A and B are shown apart, each in its own frame.
Chain A
Amino acid sequence: DTGVSQDPRHKITKRGQNVTFRCDPISEHNRLYWYRQTLGQGPEFLTYFQNEAQLEKSRLLSDRFSAERPKGSFSTLEIQRTEQGDSAMYLCASGPAGTGGNNSPLHFGNGTRLTVT
């Protein structure tokens, strides 16, 4: 168990550029989540996958944000035409298959800190 890995750890980009982040979950976990967190706030739900299927997503992912998990293993989160308000920590978490109602713990990665200048 090597934990959840996220890359890069930090990303500085100029407004209007596109960025892509990667998350490698714990290998036997079939659930994968993306959250966004700003200073002093709780993690904000973006989307989650069960295997390769994207089951739920927030309104944010209907616009400039998109996420994929093509083979049910690693996932990518892309932000197009970045804005200064996108500056935040982007957290990925994974969890084992549950029996419904999210009854097993999530393991978080250390996040990717995005700064949009």
Chain B
Amino acid sequence: QQPVQSPQAVILREGEDAVINCSSSKALYSVHWYRQKHGEAPVFLMILLKGGEQKGHEKISASFNEKKQQSSLYLTASQLSYSGTYFCGTVWQYNTDKLIFGTGTRLQVFP
């Protein structure tokens, strides 16, 4: 039931783009995205709700495809500060707040 993320790891040079996917075996109501740097707590990035529009801020955005039960996180013109592990978190029903995290994608950005 844990969402599966792909790829497992990405290595980028500054300025390059990346896409991280999160796939669920169950229908989704909402998807969260978090970034966790080594030794630190996960930090919230954004939430996408069923029926909602693509969200984003600055150079990080995300989409939610209800039919495919999938969300994608887009990082454009990556910066060194983007390095970390990205987790999606999924909620399957409107009447629950239970958030299940995905397998994670480790992103490393080099100068």
Contacts and interface: CB of A to CB of B under 8 A. Distances in A.
Interface in A83-117: 91, 93, 95, 98, 100-111
A110 B40 CA distance: 6
Count chain B CB atoms within 10 A of each CB in A56, A108, A111 and give the residue with the most: A108
Contact of A100 (B44, B87, B94, B100): B94
Contacts of B100: 45
Query: Looking at chain A, what size class is its interface with the partner chain?
Result: 20 to 34
A57 B95 CA distance: 15
Query: Looking at chain B, what size class is its interface with the partner chain?
Result: 20 to 34
Given A55-B97, A56-B98, A100-B94, A106 B104 contact: no
Given A35-B101, A102-B32, A108 B87 contact: no
Contact of A111 (B32, B41, B89, B91): B41
Contacts of B43: 108
A45 B41 CA distance: 15
Given A42-B87, A110-B41, A102 B96 contact: yes
Interface of A: 31, 33, 35, 40-45, 48, 50, 55-56, 91, 93, 95, 98, 100-111
20 contacts: A41-B103, A42-B87, A42-B104, A44-B101, A45-B98, A50-B97, A55-B96, A56-B96, A91-B42, A93-B42, A101-B50, A101-B93, A101-B94, A101-B95, A101-B96, A102-B96, A106-B89, A107-B44, A109-B41, A111-B41
